[in-house]
Structure 1
Amino acid sequence: MRVPVQKQLIWWGVALALLLIVMWLLGQAILPFILGAGVAYLLDPVADRLERAGLSRIMAVVLITFVAMLLFVAVILLIVPVLLRQATALINTAPDMIEQARAFVSARFPELLPEGGTIGTALTDLGAAMGDQLTNVAQTLLNSFGGMISAVALLVIVPVVAFYLLLDWDRMVAQIDRLLPREHAPVLRDLSRQIDHALSGFVRGQGLVILILGTWYSLALMLVGLPFGFFIGIMAAVLSFIPYVGVLIGGATAIGVALFSFWGEPVWIGAVIAIFALGQIVEGNYLQPKIVGGHVGLHPVWLLLALSVFGSLFGFVGMVAAVPLAAALGVLARFGIERYRESAFYTGQSTPSDPGPPVLVELVPRGTLEGQLREAHLQADIGRVKAGVAPQPNDRPRTPS
């Protein structure tokens, strides 16, 4: 017997509620496993390609793990210390930059910032407070991040989980497919493909865009001699997943630092502006259309909402899971909208009822029914004779005319 739709919805709702409760209760404990699963998901296409090239699955996974560990160690030893050092120096220098900007505007345009005015006082207070507050905020973020992801989880659990999941990824996907409800398996497979398309299009595509932009911005700004150029370039690239935000924040910071450092040298200030202008042109006309444009990506507003909501509900675990959950919810929302447009509530017309059970019609040669009636008549006469009852003509079954 077919399970009613209402009962199926209740079961799926209970399963979703249990998943959210588990994320809320065991967030920090399952964080390394979520990160490991994410790494395995991102690297599975590379393993498949190496398999097609002739390597066995285990050799492909070992090679990928070795290269990934080398890159990770290089980033930790070479890039992260530079980023932290330049970020701290920029935070400490920011009050002096704001004060110099205020003094310059007050000297050139005194009517904009009158002595004792609200804007001038606010800028002065901001510059005085930034040195202490930004340092405290940065230290708090670093401490909380270190508390959320321990060194053991980052260096041991995540690689081990990623290795074993990557090794068994195809078998695991096949096993999950066998567990799907048979009635809804085709729809669930199609939704899974759409979610994978959206998620891979954003994560892999946008990650490649961020890598290219980060390399360009950081190296170019360092070549022109901009202080904190490496950190500013990486920051602008990371924020580029939100259209125009990365170039605006990174460009404004870079130009502000260039004005502070290269005052009186307009050539270098113009070079900083040209670096961001060229990066924006290449990103908008080549990188985004060629790399991300072929995928159904995630709208930046939807992604920010997901990061905010899941981050506030589940902490750092929610922020890690926000991107795949946003992709899944986006696909499910589009699926629901399609079903809504096909429903009677949208069209105003009742949907046709399900057809009744089919009637089996058997085709037989002509005269079959007449022969069966004669046989029945003969058996009836024999039965009456045995019972001692004379057969009656009216009792005989009639043959069709």
Structure 2
Amino acid sequence: MSLQRQILIWIAVLALAVYALVALSGVLMPFAAGIAIAYLLDPLACKLERLGLNRLGASALILALFVAAILLILVVLVPVLTRQLTAFVLSLPGIAARLQDLVILEGGKLVEHYGGETLRKLGIDAPLTPADMQSSIGSVVGQAINYIIGFLNSLWSGSRALFGLFSILVVTPVVAFYILLDWRRMTGAIDSWVPARHRAAVRAIARDIDRALAGFVRGQSVVSLILGSWYAVGLTMAGLNFGFLIGITGGFLSFVPFLGSLAVLIVSTSVAVVQGWPEWRLILVTLAVVLSGQFLEGNVLSPYLVGHSIGLHPVWLMLALVICSTLFGFPGLLIAVPLAAALGVLARFALRSYLASPVYTGEPAAGRATVTFEPRIVEAGRD
């Protein structure tokens, strides 16, 4: 079989796999979550085995603790979050209307006192009237509300598939248990399918992907947990309405680069302005909590816990987030960065292979040396 035909076959298989993932994303999500949990817990199972526990006992113990932790979260946090989420959704139109009125009122004063002379110098004799500002801001606020409602609907619909009670208590733990139990057998079988002459390179690529994925997922999970606790406690103590909900949600969204920081800053500041205006104390305290959390994330938590394990430019990360969210909705945001990290490893290997190929060097194929792949050193890896 010619090389061109092999490439076409692999492209067709990849396209079919992507189409199947998109079409069955809602059904496959609990199974994907179970596989991801087993992947992350495999090093812990290996440690328990080294302590004398067999694989079956280690897998059962780990999954029992996992289910117990999920049940504890459901019992303690979910009732509080549900009440605050219901109240927040009901209050959202009022918050938006109040924020719109404040912007029109205070913005009109600013335009009247500071903008009139500037507009006249620019040759604009008719400054914006309150009616013009109300129309413009009303349109922007309306679009923002529609976006927030759409995002909440996407979050809810995606979470129903990923974090539904039945999935958490039945499907996901069962899948995770069997995958964790047979992890070595599965990886050994996959390794045996690789042609012998390519096995060393494929193993090196797999190890590099493993380091990148484990480094990001574990590190970012700890970062999200710390930030969620920081925001929830800080905003609640500041007296901000829905502070616990905003904090926990912001910490959860912090798993996705850029999204968590931006969301918690905008939502908390908007609620603080509506709740505290014209007093500045609540607004300043809210900003202090959020900005200190972002400083902690950017200068302490992320460099120490995550490091540079992804190895991708921020522009490529944003592109991955946009593409995955378009294809899979909110769950796509959760898998965007790990998927981009894996594709980045493959892209670097492909580039090295191309630079060592006769197509680039101009050397005849007979004199070409065997292409080797040296794994990129990352800061965080699997234990």
Give the TM bin, normalised by the shorter chain: 0.7 to 0.9
Matched, 1:94 2:95: yes
Identify the residue that residue 65 of structure 1 maps to in structure 2: 63
| SS at 1:227 equivalent | coil
1:146 Cα deviation after fit? 6.7
Q: 1:228 aligns with which of 236, 242, 246?
A: 242
| SS at 2:277 equivalent | coil
Q: Which runs of 4+ in 1 moved over 6 A?
A: 128-131
**TM-score scaled by length of structure 1:** 0.75
Alpha-carbon distance change, 118 to 344 in structure 1, aligned in 2, over 3 angstroms: farther
Matched, 1:159 2:159: no
Task: Find the aligned partners of 2:199 and 2:265 in 1 and give their Cα distance.
Answer: 49
Matched to 2:17, the amino acid is: L
Alpha-carbon distance change, 142 to 166 in structure 1, aligned in 2, over 3 angstroms: same
1:313-352 correspondence to structure 2 within 5 Å: 313=327, 322-347=336-361, 349-351=362-364
Task: Find the aligned partners of 1:67 and 1:273 in 2 and give their Cα distance.
Answer: 37
Identify the residue that residue 169 of structure 1 maps to in structure 2: 183
| SS at 1:183 equivalent | helix
Task: Find the aligned partners of 1:313 and 1:98 in 2 and give their Cα distance.
Answer: 33
- Contact 2:236–2:243, Cα closer than 8 Å, also in 1: yes
- Contact 1:240–1:246, Cα closer than 8 Å, also in 2: yes
1:258 Cα deviation after fit? 2.1
| SS at 1:55 equivalent | coil
Relative to structure 2, which stretch is displaced further, 334-343 or 303-312? Answer: 303-312
Matched to 2:48, the amino acid is: L
Q: 1:51 aligns with which of 49, 55, 60?
A: 49
- Contact 1:227–1:257, Cα closer than 8 Å, also in 2: yes
| SS at 1:296 equivalent | coil
Relative to structure 2, which stretch is displaced further, 31-40 or 294-303? Answer: 294-303
1:290 Cα deviation after fit? 0.9
Task: Find the aligned partners of 2:148 and 2:259 in 1 and give their Cα distance.
Answer: 23
Matched to 1:95, the amino acid is: A
Q: 2:228 aligns with which of 192, 214, 223?
A: 214
Task: Find the aligned partners of 1:12 and 1:176 in 2 and give their Cα distance.
Answer: 17
Task: Find the aligned partners of 2:353 and 2:144 in 1 and give their Cα distance.
Answer: 52
Matched to 2:38, the amino acid is: A
1:255 Cα deviation after fit? 2.6
Identify the residue that residue 81 of structure 2 maps to in structure 1: 83
- Contact 2:154–2:329, Cα closer than 8 Å, also in 1: no
Matched to 2:366, the amino acid is: S
Task: Find the aligned partners of 1:232 and 1:247 in 2 and give their Cα distance.
Answer: 11
Matched, 1:271 2:285: yes
1:340 Cα deviation after fit? 2.2
Alpha-carbon distance change, 300 to 320 in structure 1, aligned in 2, over 3 angstroms: same
Q: 2:210 aligns with which of 196, 201, 216?
A: 196
| SS at 1:184 equivalent | helix
Larger radius of gyration: 1
Relative to structure 2, which stretch is displaced further, 109-118 or 336-345? Answer: 109-118
1:204 Cα deviation after fit? 1.3
Question: What whole-Å deviation, never above 9, does each CA across 1:2-23 have from its counterpart, x for those lacking one?
Answer: x865565455445434433443
Identify the residue that residue 154 of structure 2 maps to in structure 1: 141
Alpha-carbon distance change, 225 to 21 in structure 1, aligned in 2, over 3 angstroms: closer
- Contact 1:214–1:236, Cα closer than 8 Å, also in 2: yes
Matched, 1:353 2:353: no
| SS at 1:350 equivalent | coil
Q: 1:305 aligns with which of 319, 343, 350?
A: 319
Instruction: Specify every segment of 5 or more residues in structure 1 that has no aligned partner in the other structure, as ranges.
Output: 356-401
Task: Provide the alpha-carbon RMSD of the alignment.
Answer: 3.3
- Contact 2:209–2:342, Cα closer than 8 Å, also in 1: yes
Alpha-carbon distance change, 145 to 290 in structure 1, aligned in 2, over 3 angstroms: closer
Task: Find the aligned partners of 1:13 and 1:130 in 2 and give their Cα distance.
Answer: 39
Question: What whole-Å deviation, never above 9, does each CA across 1:170-217 have from its counterpart, x for those lacking one?
Answer: 222122112211121111111111111111122111111111111111
Instruction: Specify every segment of 5 or more residues in structure 2 that has no aligned partner in the other structure, as ranges.
Output: 116-126, 369-383
Alpha-carbon distance change, 25 to 267 in structure 1, aligned in 2, over 3 angstroms: closer
| SS at 2:239 equivalent | coil
Matched, 1:262 2:276: yes
Relative to structure 2, which stretch is displaced further, 312-321 or 258-267? Answer: 312-321
Matched to 1:75, the amino acid is: I
Identify the residue that residue 109 of structure 2 maps to in structure 1: 108
Task: Find the aligned partners of 2:344 and 2:355 in 1 and give their Cα distance.
Answer: 17
Task: Find the aligned partners of 1:195 and 1:209 in 2 and give their Cα distance.
Answer: 21
Matched, 1:240 2:241: no
Question: What whole-Å deviation, never above 9, does each CA across 1:136-192 have from its counterpart, x for those lacking one?
Answer: 636743663476456533431111011111111122212211221112111111111
Task: Find the aligned partners of 2:235 and 2:334 in 1 and give their Cα distance.
Answer: 30
Alpha-carbon distance change, 71 to 337 in structure 1, aligned in 2, over 3 angstroms: same
Identify the residue that residue 370 of structure 1 maps to in structure 2: none
Alpha-carbon distance change, 62 to 298 in structure 1, aligned in 2, over 3 angstroms: farther
Matched to 1:74, the amino acid is: L
Task: Find the aligned partners of 1:162 and 1:123 in 2 and give their Cα distance.
Answer: 49
Alpha-carbon distance change, 266 to 18 in structure 1, aligned in 2, over 3 angstroms: closer
Structure with more contact order per residue of length (Cα contacts < 8 Å, sep ≥ 6): 2
1:316 Cα deviation after fit? 6.8
Task: Find the aligned partners of 1:177 and 1:189 in 2 and give their Cα distance.
Answer: 8
